[in-house]
Amino acid sequence: MNLSLLNNKYFLIVEDNAINQMLVKHAIAQFNALADIAETGTQALELMKTKQYDIILMDIYMPELDGYQTTEIIRNELKSNIPIIAMTALTIKGEEDKCLALGMNGYIPKPFNADILYNTLLKVLVPSEELV
C-alpha cells in the first residue's frame, strides 16, 4: 500500500457511533490524515461552512439528517462536488447503487477493514493515471 497518496488529506467523518468514529479515525491515522467528526448530518453541514475538506466519510443512518438527506443538501443546496463515501452496515442488494445514484462517490460496508477503506479512498481521490 502506498499510503503517501493519501497523506495530509482532511477528512470529515460523519458518524453517530463513538466506536465507529474511533475505528475510522484510527484507520485514517495511517495516512497521516486529519479529521473532524460530526455526529449528525446537521453538524456536518455546519462544519462544511467553516472548513475545507478533501473527502467525507458518511454514515447512512443517523439521527436528525441521515446520510442520504445530508448528501442531497451537499450536492443540491451547497453545490459541492466534494467526494462522499457512504459507510453503512446496511448491505442489502441495491444499497450501493442507491448511494451512488444520490451523488455519493463510493460505498464501504461496515464493518470495514483498512484495505477496503484504502482502496475505496484511492479510487475516489486519486486519478487512475497516478496509480500506475
| Structural domain span for residue 53 | 7-123
Q: Distance between CA 132 and CA 118 in Å, rounded?
A: 16
> pLDDT digits over 14-54, tens only?
999 999 899 899 888 888 888 999 999 999 999 999 999 99
> pLDDT digits over 47-92, tens only?
999 999 999 999 998 888 999 999 999 999 999 999 999 998 877 7
- Within a domain: residue 130? no
Long-range contacts of 102-111 (CB under 8 A, 24+ apart): 102/68, 102/71, 102/72, 102/75, 103/71, 103/72, 103/74, 103/75, 104/58, 104/71, 108/57, 110/20, 111/23
- Within a domain: residue 104? yes
The CATH code of the domain that includes 83 is 3.40.50.2300
Fill in the DSSP letter of residue 89.
Answer: S
SS3 of residue 132 by DSSP: coil
- Within a domain: residue 40? yes
Q: How confident is the model at residue 88, as a pLDDT?
A: 85
Element of type H or E holding 38: strand 34-38
12 touches 57 (CB < 8 A): yes
Strand partners, 59: 87
Mean pLDDT over residues 89-110, rounded? 87
For cell 497523506, name the residue.
7
- Within a domain: residue 2? no
- Within a domain: residue 129? no
The domain total for the chain is 1
Residue 115 carries which side chain, given as an amino acid letter? D
- Within a domain: residue 21? yes
- Within a domain: residue 102? yes
| Ramachandran bin of 97, using left for φ above 0, alpha for ψ from -120 to 50, beta for the remaining angles | alpha
Q: How confident is the model at residue 93, as a pLDDT?
A: 79
- Within a domain: residue 50? yes
